Amino acid sequence: MEVQAFISIAPWTMIFQIINLLILMVAFKKLLFKPVCAILEKRKAEIEGHYQQAEEAERSARTLQKTYEERMAGAREEADRVIRTATESANAMSAGIVDDARAQAEQIRRRAETEIELERRKAFDEVKGELSGIALDIAQQVIEREVDPKDHEAFIDDFIKNVGEAS
């Protein structure tokens, strides 16, 4: 029996193994490495596309936010303007109402003064008429009798009593 060496170098086996390794490398490169690289490139492009979409969406969101803030500022200004206009209108209306009320009060006061003046004149005319009547009565009584100082004093007392009763 022949003893086989535990470690031996067979040149033909080594050459076949190296050729086999080179064939496997070429096969892996063509069949595995290129498709894997292509898939990795495709994934990389896809991820970059997602990043670009995200950046674009962020820019769009910022633009929308600016637009929203501008609109909100415009809405606030519009609300302030509407409130200011309503306040001015209410103030004008209240001033108009107050002016109308003052005008009506002045008109009522003038009417009352006119009525008071008419009533005073009427009362004065009535008193004047009564005094004329009393004066005529006194003159009639004076004509009927001759007046001396005692009669005159009595006549005045009588006149005062009659004026008190007539009222």
Q: How do residues 21-39 score in pLDDT, each as one tens digit?
A: 999 999 988 888 888 888 9
Q: How do residues 51-80 score in pLDDT, each as one tens digit?
A: 999 999 999 999 999 999 999 999 999 999
Predicted pLDDT of residue 130:
77
State both tokens at 52: 């670009």
- Whole-angstrom CA distances from 40 to 49, 53, 99, 112 are 14, 20, 86, 105
- Cα gap 17→79, rounded to integer Å: 87
Torsion of CA 29, 35, 36, 41, to 10 degrees: 120
pTM higher than 0.75, yes or no? no
- Cα gap 150→14, rounded to integer Å: 184
Burial class for 151, CB neighbours closer than 10 Å (0-12, 13-18, 19+): middle
- Cα gap 51→58, rounded to integer Å: 10
Q: How do residues 97-154 score in pLDDT, each as one tens digit?
A: 999 999 999 999 999 999 999 998 888 778 777 776 776 677 677 666 555 667 667 7
The pair phi, psi for residue 115, each rounded to 5°, is: -65, -40
Predicted pLDDT of residue 134:
74
Predicted pLDDT of residue 59:
95
Which are the contacts of 145, defined by CB distance < 8 A and separation ≥ 6?
151
* Per-residue pLDDT band at 164 (split at 50, 70, 90): low
**Side chain identity, residue 57:** A
